[in-house]
A and B are shown apart, each in its own frame.
Chain A
Amino acid sequence: MGKIQNISRRSFVKSVGLASGGLILACNTSVISDKSPENLIDFNPNLFVQLNSDGSLILVASRSEMGNGVRTSLPSVIADEMEADWNRVSVKQAVGDKMYGDQNTDGSKSIRTLFLPMRRMGAMAKAMLISAAAQKWQVSESECSAENHFIIHSSGKKIGFGNLVEIAKTLDIPYEESLQLKDPKDFKYIGKHLKSIDVEDFIKGSAVFGLDKRLPNMKFAAIARCPVTFGTVKSLNKTATLKIQGVIDVIEIPKIDRPFGPLGGVAVIATNTWAAFKGRDALEIEWDFGDNQVYDSDKYMEEITKNVHKQGKVSKDVGNVNKAFRYANKIVESTYQLPHLAHAPMEVPNTVALVQGETCEVWASTQVAQASKTEIVKYLGIPEKNVTVNVTLLGGGFGRKSQPDYVVEAVVISKAINGPAQVVWSREDDIKHGYFHTVSAQYMKASLDVNNNVTGWLHRFALPSITSTFSPGIDYAAGFEISSASNIPYDIDNMKVEVGKAPAHVRIGWLRSVINIPHGFSINVFADELAAAANEDPLEFRLKLIGEDRIVNEKEKIPFKTGRLKNVLKIAAKNAGWGRELPKGHAFGLAVHRSFYSYLASVVEVSVIDNKIKVLNVYTAVDCGTAVNRNTIKAQMEGAAIFGMTVALHGKITAKKGAIEQSNYHDYQMVRMHQAPKIHVEIVESSEIPTGVGEPGVPVIAPAIVNAIYKITGKRHKTLPLSNEGLIV
């Protein structure tokens, strides 16, 4: 296989932005394999494309599929540039390996960061197939073009992709400079409505989620964990457990002091999940609860609320807010309180592990294949090359599966029992022992002049930071938890953002749209309060508040354009028919927010009748730049509306004496079908770079609902969830 020119490959790989030492090396490795030439019936121009001589095309998805549609969208981009026939494509899930570049499926960034690299992967394969055909026909490459899995010569003769494999695989990799990307107007799959490549498996029950992975002789394990975060086992009596039919063994799991280390506890190993659960419940454990037993979430809310009513750490200070407040015609002040949330994906955390001597293979329902690998390597102390992380389908993730603590648990257990094991979290485990969405208190103050222009804006918030999970003892929000408050798109001369103290007592993690939930809420509700104080229409007032078209964040790489923000707001309002008369007890509410570089507005129609709240319609407008798969974008906006409604109506995790009080879907409720509104989505036509889709739809929903309720009842709900606010949901 000496024909592959490493230098051009390196140059290519660097050019696609996936560059890392590991990737380049691995790219070479993947081509210069030790397979004997006669077995190489396939053509691998790069890491993501494998074309077989029968024309079947295998494209690699390097990110995790959890309902985000990434196993469809990423390969569709390659197929489009390659001029491949989508019906000949099958998708292979990448194992966790640095050679794929970043595989973390989070931050709504898969398409944003991989759109161009995947286009180039497709263009590269196409260029080589054209070269192969030109060589076979003894014609110039410029006389050949690719169309629907064929290379066509200007004379009209054509040859299938598969028939070019033997020649193509002997060719040099083209120089990146020679690669031509398609004109977007010629896209066949990009910007269209592609169905999920996995839909048939989903509806027939044949899709293999982590929980469905089976190995011969595999055992099932459930773990008893201390009710208080980071508590440890004081004493254990396993007699009753060992009498249960199906229980094989009971072993202690160490607490591993790493961000993604297991909490520790006692594992029950059994021949089936039910016996493991039953055995776990029969354990008699005395716990040493540790420092976090002081955690009482009600008292904590009082504490952080006090912290936002006094001076905090200043993180943005423009103009002079004190002066603005002094000369104000009107002052508006508000305090918002939002609780912890749990992710509660339908598929609980789980992993199958098989540790055999110096090797380890796992099948993990994870958003972070490489972090899983790193944690396993650290725990087992074996070389990275001995660890294989297979990524299964995820039955939802929402950020919970960005922390591979449960992957390590499976590895610990497999090593201990010297055989394959699946660790299964019960729903109760999932609700009680997750990495919770932060809890927050926010204080806002603004001044209006006689013309109802906003002259001063103070935003002070306190919330335990995600960084506390990585660096215990951090008591203040980090930069990424501040930017959504400081990159405020309002045209106000005097602005100040301050952060208050908030130590963490549970593990804090990322939950779909993360910090944008509290900030999107407070900023959108407060702006609506200012409109009310000004006695102006919320839409007109908001457009005025956003002001002229400009860039908000001049120092950042991807601009925040107020023009795009106003545009989505106008579209959502237009689609809703903002201003039209609604039945008695109904009203519209609006919210607009940019997150993950996408611009989102939702107008909701809500009714409150006899204190019963119903969300009837959600009109969402999204500007996520170039639309890659419209089906997915629409689905994500529909899903985000429901997710946001759950935040608004039901979501609340509380702690007493350090233990989480909720346990399952009966006391940590989800929006169900009878509560679901009609959701109308418009995707803004755009040629800007593609940006986030999975998360940005969430933050606008709760504030839009609160703003609509205010119009109906005159009461402004500043604390969520609404089910705790005397409303029937």
Chain B
Amino acid sequence: MITLRINGEKHTIDVTPDMPLLWAIRDIIGLTGTKYGCGIGVCGACKVMLDNSPVQSCILPVSAAEDKNITTIEGISENLQLLQNSWTELNVPQCGFCQPGQLITAAALLDKNHNPTDKDIDDAMIGNICRCGTYQRIKKAIHRTVELKNKN
């Protein structure tokens, strides 16, 4: 039995310790906002926050996530909410599938860097693919979030 703490809630599940966190979240616990994209940690669709770091949940064994705070797109953090507002304002998503992973990565960036440059954003977001090609709007939405935060 493995116990996971996701968005503040405890879940005890019976899975093999090598199961990637992604599948525990999606198929066992049933939170489907976190997405499968590649299974080898190169597309970012599966990103979740593990304590304070964004991780590719498709390659992280569930055993490595025990006793940590996991935040998924269904969870809440200040930066995540602010980013979601900007995402809506600029109508970032096209198909929408990769956006949870994009938002988690962007939130992790803003948690550590209060005023990222274009280069900082590129470096942080390099692991997230958007096949629809919404990169320009993602970048604008991150800048917009910072702008609104600084105003307040």
Instruction: For A68, list chain B residues within 8 Å (CB).
Output: 94
Answer whether A204 and B73 are a contact pair too, CB < 8 Å, given A395-B96, A396-B132, A673-B135: yes
A676: Cβ under 8 A from any B Cβ: yes
User: Is B42 within 8 A of A346, CB to CB?
Assistant: no
Instruction: For A271, list chain B residues within 8 Å (CB).
Output: 27
Q: In the bound complex, how far is the Cα of B122 from the Cα of A679, in angstroms?
A: 16
User: Is B40 within 8 A of A664, CB to CB?
Assistant: yes
A427: Cβ under 8 A from any B Cβ: yes
Query: Closest A-chain residue to B22, C-beta based?
Result: A274
User: Is A205 within 8 A of B133, CB to CB?
Assistant: no
User: Is B97 within 8 A of A209, CB to CB?
Assistant: yes
Instruction: For A397, list chain B residues within 8 Å (CB).
Output: 95
Instruction: For A277, list chain B residues within 8 Å (CB).
Output: 39
Distance in Å: Cβ of B1 to nearest Cβ of chain A: 13
User: Is B126 within 8 A of A672, CB to CB?
Assistant: yes
User: Is A202 within 8 A of B38, CB to CB?
Assistant: no
Answer whether A346 and B97 are a contact pair too, CB < 8 Å, given A274-B23, A638-B137: yes
User: Is B27 within 8 A of A274, CB to CB?
Assistant: yes
Answer whether A395 and B26 are a contact pair too, CB < 8 Å, given A638-B137, A664-B42, A676-B136: no
B146: Cβ under 8 A from any A Cβ: no
User: Is A195 within 8 A of B88, CB to CB?
Assistant: yes
Q: Mark A636-672, 1 if CB is under 8 A from B, else 0.
A: 1011111100000000000000000000111000111
User: Is B32 within 8 A of A201, CB to CB?
Assistant: no
A396 contact from B15, B97, B128, Cβ within 8 A: B97
User: Is B93 within 8 A of A199, CB to CB?
Assistant: yes
User: Is A272 within 8 A of B28, CB to CB?
Assistant: yes
User: Is A203 within 8 A of B103, CB to CB?
Assistant: yes
Distance in Å: Cβ of B122 to nearest Cβ of chain A: 4
Instruction: For A196, list chain B residues within 8 Å (CB).
Output: 91, 93, 96
Instruction: For B103, list chain A residues within 8 Å (CB).
Output: 203
Distance in Å: Cβ of B13 to nearest Cβ of chain A: 10
B100: Cβ under 8 A from any A Cβ: yes
User: Is B139 within 8 A of A273, CB to CB?
Assistant: no
User: Is B94 within 8 A of A672, CB to CB?
Assistant: no
A206: Cβ under 8 A from any B Cβ: yes
B27 contact from A206, A273, A640, A671, Cβ within 8 A: A273
User: Is A635 within 8 A of B94, CB to CB?
Assistant: yes
Instruction: For B91, list chain A residues within 8 Å (CB).
Output: 195-196, 199, 631, 635
B138: Cβ under 8 A from any A Cβ: yes
User: Is B131 within 8 A of A345, CB to CB?
Assistant: yes
List B residues 74-98 near A (Cβ within 8 Å): 74, 84, 87-88, 91-98
Distance in Å: Cβ of B103 to nearest Cβ of chain A: 6
A157: Cβ under 8 A from any B Cβ: no
Instruction: For A635, list chain B residues within 8 Å (CB).
Output: 91, 94, 134, 137
Most buried by B among A277, A347, A398: A347
Q: In the bound complex, how far is the Cα of B37 from the Cα of A665, in angstroms?
A: 9
User: Is B128 within 8 A of A673, CB to CB?
Assistant: yes
List A residues 178-213 near B (Cβ within 8 Å): 195-196, 198-209, 211-212
Q: In the bound complex, how far is the Cα of B31 from the Cα of A93, in angstroms?
A: 23
Query: Closest A-chain residue to B121, C-beta based?
Result: A673
Distance in Å: Cβ of A605 to nearest Cβ of chain B: 15
User: Is A427 within 8 A of B97, CB to CB?
Assistant: no
Most buried by B among A202, A277, A428: A202
Instruction: For B28, list chain A residues within 8 Å (CB).
Output: 272
B33: Cβ under 8 A from any A Cβ: yes
Distance in Å: Cβ of A424 to nearest Cβ of chain B: 8
User: Is B94 within 8 A of A205, CB to CB?
Assistant: no
Q: In the bound complex, how far is the Cα of B19 from the Cα of A323, in angstroms?
A: 70
B145: Cβ under 8 A from any A Cβ: no
A346 contact from B33, B95, B123, Cβ within 8 A: B95
B131 contact from A220, A274, A344, Cβ within 8 A: A344
Number of interface residues of B (CB under 8 A): 56
User: Is A205 within 8 A of B19, CB to CB?
Assistant: no
A633: Cβ under 8 A from any B Cβ: no
Q: In the bound complex, how far is the Cα of B37 from the Cα of A344, in angstroms?
A: 10
Query: Closest A-chain residue to B34, C-beta based?
Result: A205
A565: Cβ under 8 A from any B Cβ: no
Instruction: For A344, list chain B residues within 8 Å (CB).
Output: 131
B19 contact from A274, A427, A640, A674, Cβ within 8 A: A274
B96 contact from A67, A348, A639, A674, Cβ within 8 A: A67
Instruction: For B92, list chain A residues within 8 Å (CB).
Output: 199, 203
User: Is A206 within 8 A of B133, CB to CB?
Assistant: no
Distance in Å: Cβ of A651 to nearest Cβ of chain B: 12
Q: In the bound complex, how far is the Cα of B136 from the Cα of A639, in angstroms?
A: 9
Q: Mark B9-26, 1 if CB is under 8 A from A, else 0.
A: 000000110011001001
A427 contact from B34, B39, B99, B136, Cβ within 8 A: B39
Query: Closest B-chain residue to A66, C-beta based?
Result: B95
List A residues 46-69 near B (Cβ within 8 Å): 65-69
User: Is A674 within 8 A of B88, CB to CB?
Assistant: no
A359: Cβ under 8 A from any B Cβ: no
User: Is A203 within 8 A of B42, CB to CB?
Assistant: no
Q: In the bound complex, how far is the Cα of B16 from the Cα of A129, in angstroms?
A: 61
User: Is B30 within 8 A of A393, CB to CB?
Assistant: no
A214: Cβ under 8 A from any B Cβ: yes
User: Is A676 within 8 A of B135, CB to CB?
Assistant: yes
A299: Cβ under 8 A from any B Cβ: no
Distance in Å: Cβ of A629 to nearest Cβ of chain B: 10
A426: Cβ under 8 A from any B Cβ: yes
List A residues 380-413 near B (Cβ within 8 Å): 393-398
Distance in Å: Cβ of B120 to nearest Cβ of chain A: 11
Q: In the bound complex, how far is the Cα of B35 from the Cα of A206, in angstroms?
A: 11
A313: Cβ under 8 A from any B Cβ: no
User: Is B97 within 8 A of A273, CB to CB?
Assistant: no
A678: Cβ under 8 A from any B Cβ: yes
Query: Closest B-chain residue to A211, C-beta based?
Result: B36
Query: Closest A-chain residue to B133, C-beta based?
Result: A642
Query: Closest A-chain residue to B16, C-beta based?
Result: A245
Instruction: For A396, list chain B residues within 8 Å (CB).
Output: 95, 97, 131-132
Instruction: For B39, list chain A residues within 8 Å (CB).
Output: 277, 426-428, 664
B32 contact from A203, A214, A665, Cβ within 8 A: A214
User: Is A673 within 8 A of B36, CB to CB?
Assistant: no
User: Is B98 within 8 A of A346, CB to CB?
Assistant: yes
B130: Cβ under 8 A from any A Cβ: yes
Instruction: For A195, list chain B residues within 8 Å (CB).
Output: 88, 91
Q: In the bound complex, how far is the Cα of B122 from the Cα of A397, in angstroms?
A: 26
User: Is A206 within 8 A of B33, CB to CB?
Assistant: yes
User: Is B135 within 8 A of A273, CB to CB?
Assistant: no
Most buried by A among B72, B125, B136: B136
User: Is A641 within 8 A of B133, CB to CB?
Assistant: yes
Q: In the bound complex, how far is the Cα of B101 from the Cα of A614, in angstroms?
A: 26
Which 6 pairs from chain A and chain B are nearest by CB?
A: A205-B33, A642-B133, A395-B97, A202-B96, A67-B95, A67-B94
Interface residues of B (CB under 8 A from A): 15-16, 19-20, 23, 26-28, 30-40, 42-43, 45, 72-74, 84, 87-88, 91-100, 103, 121-123, 125-126, 128-139
Can you list 25 A-B pairs, Cβ within 8 angstroms, ordered by A? A67-B95, A69-B94, A196-B91, A196-B93, A199-B87, A199-B93, A200-B88, A201-B96, A203-B92, A203-B100, A205-B72, A212-B32, A246-B15, A345-B97, A346-B43, A347-B35, A348-B36, A395-B96, A397-B95, A398-B131, A635-B137, A666-B42, A670-B129, A672-B129, A672-B135
20 more A-B residue pairs beyond the given contacts A201-B96, A208-B32, with a C-beta to C-beta distance below 8 A: A195-B88, A196-B93, A203-B84, A204-B73, A205-B34, A205-B74, A211-B35, A344-B131, A346-B97, A393-B95, A395-B35, A395-B96, A424-B36, A427-B37, A428-B39, A643-B131, A671-B133, A673-B121, A673-B128, A679-B136
